[in-house]
């Protein structure tokens, strides 16, 4: 028995040495930790899981990324119920209120994240260009730091332990069909305007849908919330009552739950105004249908996602995960994501990886000098076009609230089911 073992390990060593030499020769990287390439199981929503990123990582670091794509809700479920089924997870900040108390995640060591200091202050301080941005709901700054590496408590001051290293974030608003509406839309309250009876939609993900509903209700002057991301029972009742009345009056054509549903509703003209996600608007537009991601005077509902590691991660996989995260922040991935209309965590490295005209269009809100192309080469916008909502500072600076999990989450879900049944 012991003999076989030695043979195997010796062989492994030899093979390892050869492979390391090989890697070194091809990519010019010095001999890395070990021989066999490390495979990281990357749990997340399909949104960030691009084939291009996996290929580039393999090329640059020799790490194999194995995507485990599930829905937003299922990411949370997997982290809590099967914490050993992944090596790195890309999840949303608002889920942290559930994930961190479960104790299944590891605080990320800021000292091992090379660009930790360069992460945009949107996350670390909740401000942009020195100006505070809306922090209703689960704003990332509220849940960014942990008290200790395995702590189940969020720290109010910066610490060495970070919950999530941001991957992508964005500011969401309503999508409209300008060709069918034919007049300017300026406020969230238009979603419930009887003018669009039978042509409106809202997303059927309770925790996010209710925040869009709250934006509408506040814009209509029905109620002013102390925190739209953390309503009292009475506020939930009020919100759902208004929505139920609208539903019964036939305001909504349908609700949507996933990306493609929202694209189909809008592209087919079933709806002319609805909650929407930025890439969905881009998709509708690339189908040749006019669609605007309409900035509204009450501001945006923002969301943000980031990397976390499971507590059980050890050894080479742990090192590889840090290596991958460092690579992710180093620019190529950031530029890749910015070109899809998302925002990345470390702006300066992303900028260095983008053409100046691309940066001007996506981040500075300037008119495109040349045709704007998606990472796969399809033309998204013709030269001269401008991004809806303008620059990074204008869009992220206009955030009113963040996706959230309320203290009254259970009650909210029950009321939402009531809304669907009404």
Partner 1 sequence: MSRVASSRAALWQAAPLVVLLAVFFVLPLVLVVVVSVWDYNDYAILPDVTPRNYRDVFEGCLVALPELCVTFKTYLSTLKFCLMVWLSTLLIGFTVAYFLAFHVRSLGWQVVLFLVCTIPFWTSNVIRMISWIPLLGRNGVINQWLQQAGITDAPLEWLLFSDFSVLLAFVHLYTMFMIVPIFNSMTRIDRSLLEAAYDAGASGWQTLWNVVIPLCKPGIVIGSIFVVTIVMGDFVTIGVMGGQQIASIGKIISVQMSYLQFPLAAANAVILLAVVMMIIWAMTRAVDIRREL
Neighbours of 366 (CB within 10 A): 15
Question: Minimum Å distance from CB 82 to partner 1?
Answer: 13
Among residues 56, 68, 69, 97, which is the contact residue for partner 1, using CB under 8 A?
97
Q: Select from 106-114, 137-145, 315-323, 408-416 the region that touches partner 1 (CB under 8 A).
A: 408-416
Quote the crossing angle between the two packed helices 206-219 and 233-248, to the nearest 10°: 80
State the nearest-atom distance from the C-beta of 400 to partner 1, in Å.
24
Which positions from 292 to 331 touch partner 1 by CB under 8 A, shown as an x/- string?
A: ----------------------------------------
Kindly report the length of the chain.
Answer: 422
Residues 19, 68, 244, 254: which binds partner 1 (CB under 8 A)?
Answer: 254
Contact track, partner 1, 42-81, x by CB under 8 A: -----------------------------x-xx-xx--x-
Contact stretch for partner 1 (CB under 8 A) within 97-105, 137-145, 290-298, 315-323: 97-105
- The nearer residue to partner 1, 160 or 232, going by C-beta atoms, is 232
CB nearer to partner 1: give 207 or 230.
207
Strands of 84-133 (E only): list them: 88-92, 105-106, 108-109, 127-128, 131-132
Site string for partner 1, 257-296 (x = CB under 8 A): x------x---xxx--------------------------
**How far lies 73's CA from each of 48, 80, 126, 208, 314, in Å?**
15, 11, 25, 11, 26
| Residue with Cβ nearer partner 1 (110 or 238) | 238
Closest distance to partner 1 from the beta carbon of 339 (Å): 30
Across the strands, what pairs with 162? 108, 145
Residue 101 binds partner 1 (CB under 8 A): yes
Q: CA 226: distance to chain centroid? A: 25
What angle, 0 to 180 degrees and rounded to 10, lies between the N-to-C axes of helices 259-267 and 278-286? 40
Pairwise CA distance, residues 308 & 320, whole Å: 13
Helix H or strand E encompassing 307 = strand 300-310
Q: Which of 56, 247, 316, 370 binds partner 1 (CB under 8 A)?
A: 247
Q: What is the CA radius of gyration of the chain?
A: 23
Q: Tokens 């500075």 correspond to what residue?
A: 364
> Which residues contact residue 388 at a Cβ distance below 8 angstroms, ignoring those fewer than 6 apart?
281, 292, 293, 294, 295
Count of residues engaged in binding partner 1, rule: CB under 8 A:
36
Coil, strand or helix at 86? coil
Pick between residue 117 and residue 410 the one whose CB is nearest to partner 1: 410
Any idea which residue has 């509902």 for tokens? 301
79 or 335: whose CB is closer to partner 1? 79
| Residues in contact with partner 1 by the rule CB under 8 A | 71, 73-74, 76-77, 80, 97-99, 101-102, 198, 204, 206-207, 247, 252-257, 264, 268-270, 405, 409-410, 413-414, 416-418, 420-421
């Amino acid at each position: 028995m012991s003999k076989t073992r030695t043979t195997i390990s010796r062989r492994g060593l030899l093979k390892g040495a050869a492979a390391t030499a090989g890697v070194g020769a091809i990519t010019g990287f010095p001999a890395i930790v070990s021989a066999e390439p490390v495979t990281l199981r990357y749990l997340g929503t399909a949104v960030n899981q691009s084939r291009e990123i996996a290929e580039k990582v393999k090329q640059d670091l020799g790490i194999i990324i194995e995507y485990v794509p599930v829905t937003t809700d299922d990411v949370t479920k997997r982290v809590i119920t099967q914490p050993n089924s992944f090596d790195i997870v890309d999840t949303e900040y608002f889920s942290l209120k559930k994930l961190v108390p479960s104790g299944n995640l590891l605080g990320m060591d800021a000292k091992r994240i090379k660009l930790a200091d360069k992460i945009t202050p949107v996350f670390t301080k909740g401000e942009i260009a020195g100006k505070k941005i809306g922090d209703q709901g689960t704003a990332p700054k509220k849940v960014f730091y942990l008290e200790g590496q395995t702590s189940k408590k969020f720290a109010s001051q910066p610490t060495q332990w970070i919950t999530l290293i941001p991957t992508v974030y964005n500011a969401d608003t309503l999508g409209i069909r300008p060709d069918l509406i034919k007049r300017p839309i300026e406020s969230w309250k238009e979603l419930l305007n009887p003018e669009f009876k039978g042509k409106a939609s809202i997303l059927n993900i309770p925790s996010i849908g209710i925040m869009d509903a709250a934006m509408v209700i506040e814009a209509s002057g029905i109620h002013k919330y102390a925190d739209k991301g953390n309503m009292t029972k009475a506020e939930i009742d009020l919100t759902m009552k208004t929505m139920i009345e609208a539903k019964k009056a036939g305001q909504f054509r349908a609700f949507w739950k996933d990306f493609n549903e929202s694209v189909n509703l809008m592209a087919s003209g079933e709806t002319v105004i609805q909650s929407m996600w930025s890439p969905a608007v881009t998709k509708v537009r690339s189908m040749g249908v006019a669609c605007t991601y309409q900035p509204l005077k009450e501001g945006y509902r923002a969301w943000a996602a980031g990397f976390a590691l499971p507590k059980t991660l050890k050894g080479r996989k742990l090192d590889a995960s840090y290596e991958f995260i460092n690579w992710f922040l180093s620019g190529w991935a950031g530029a890749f994501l910015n070109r899809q209309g998302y925002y990345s965590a470390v702006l300066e490295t992303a900028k260095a990886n983008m053409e100046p005209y691309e940066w001007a269009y996506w981040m500075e809100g300037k008119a495109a000098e040349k045709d704007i192309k998606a990472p796969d080469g399809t033309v998204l916008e013709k030269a001269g076009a401008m991004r809806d909502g303008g620059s990074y500072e204008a869009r992220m600076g206009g955030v009113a609230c963040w996706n959230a999990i309320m203290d009254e989450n259970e009650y909210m879900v029950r009321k939402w089911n009531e809304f669907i049944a009404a």
